[in-house]
Amino acid sequence: MAESVAAVSQSAMPAIVLGAVTLVVTVGSYVWLAAALSRVFFRSGVDRWRAWVPVLNVAEILRLGRISPWLVVLLFVPLADLFGVCLLILAVHRVNRAFSRGAGMTVLAVFLPPVWASVLAWSRSTDVSPSFAPNSVAPDAVAKSPFDTRPTQAAVQGTQPPPVPPGGPSPSSGLAARSPRPAPAWEPPPLVTTPAYGRSPAADRWGTVQRPQWQPPEAQQPELRPWVPPEPQQPWTPGPPVTQQQWTSVAPDAQRPWAPKPLSPAATAVIVEPSDELDETAPRTAPPLSVPAEPPTDTGTVVIPRSAPLIERPDDDETIVVVRRRPRWHLTTDFGAAHELTGGRVVVGRRPEGDERGVQYLALEDDTKTLSKQHAFFLLDGDEWTVADLASTNGTVLVDEAGVEHPVDPGTPARVGARVLLGELGVVLKRVIG
């Protein structure tokens, strides 16, 4: 009996050892995969703990690949699990494209998932481009985030400082010594059309260069002089009204060629008494015409009538200054929440974070739970707004007046229409004057 038990235990020993080794390898592989996925989720703006929950981590991979996470149930349905595996491979391929990886990484994910997740989690490559769910990365993160939209030296061409003379380094030479950063997929245009200044250390990560701040002129110390009281002046007293003015001749009459010549004196009129007998021999002549008297050449005094109105300047005769108020913009959500836009560059999302000067980070309340932490970037260009999707998880859609939806490609600016869909949250930009 003892020999039979020993024989059975000896024959089952290889199976027990093989089962123990398989269990250790399985648990170790899952811990390895979960740790790598937690890092990938952190760089994608997703909570780390989701990578450690079975089934939920697969659903998060589908969601990052812009596929409904509820389709994970297909993996547990016979015959439909093949379609679920195809969807999972497609989602993994989209995640690889977000990390600037090709189809080779997709093949690696199919055969060696822990190795694939480790390459994405701890990769230090500099050719990574943003593609989805850009969120802030912790300052102590060692790996380069694929969603960092800070510009590189190539992204700010035309704004480099002049070459450094041999005499010494320029104040901004510390920037050139830094390691190059990846160029963003889209760089918003500057707010003004004037030539950009040289790049300064305060250049923000949205592709625009900070203009130099206005500095008030240095106040000069005024020269101190002793105060001298002004001399007293006689009070003004109104004089009598002017009614006439004497005009004198500037030049004698002989020196005035423009004076009219006097007319010859009129002939003396002859009055003929009527008589009964007419002298037939007397010639019949017409009486001379009366000539008007010579007008006076020197008028002497000029009299101004008292009834002439005096032109007086009214007391309120002054220019009225019209103050034109600057138009304001409000962003209104479908839930009725209105947010005032304080600047021309706005980053909206669930919890946007940043310290860029001149950029407003606007947090929106989203009951639909489809808004990313940093979802879209709005830019005011004159009187029109443009929106650029910051590679959010659920994307950005423009809705025109007819209700037609136009998806916005990540990193590509587009003119804002009647309505903007941030995931499933609709917002409207309204202009308020006053």
Architecture per CATH, 328-432: Sandwich (2.60)
Question: How does DSSP classify residue 50?
Answer: G
d(CA 382, CA 112): 52
Looking at the whole model, is its pTM more than 0.85?
no
Question: By C-alpha distance, which of 33, 57, 41, 50 is closest to 98?
Answer: 41
d(CA 70, CA 24): 31
* Adjacent-strand bridge partners of 427: 333, 420
For the chain, the structural domain boundaries read 2-121, 328-432
Q: Please, are residues 115 and 109 in contact by the beta-carbon 8 Å criterion?
A: no
* pLDDT, one tens digit for every residue, the chain (434 residues): 556 656 656 777 788 888 888 888 888 888 888 888 888 888 888 888 888 888 888 888 888 888 898 988 888 888 888 988 898 899 888 888 888 788 888 888 888 888 888 888 887 643 444 444 444 333 333 344 444 444 444 444 444 444 544 444 444 444 344 445 555 555 655 554 444 444 444 444 444 445 556 666 665 666 667 777 777 777 677 666 655 555 544 445 445 545 555 555 544 544 555 555 444 444 455 555 555 555 555 555 555 555 545 555 555 556 665 555 566 888 888 887 888 888 888 898 988 888 888 888 888 888 888 888 889 988 888 788 888 888 888 889 888 888 888 888 888 888 887 888 888 888 888 887 75
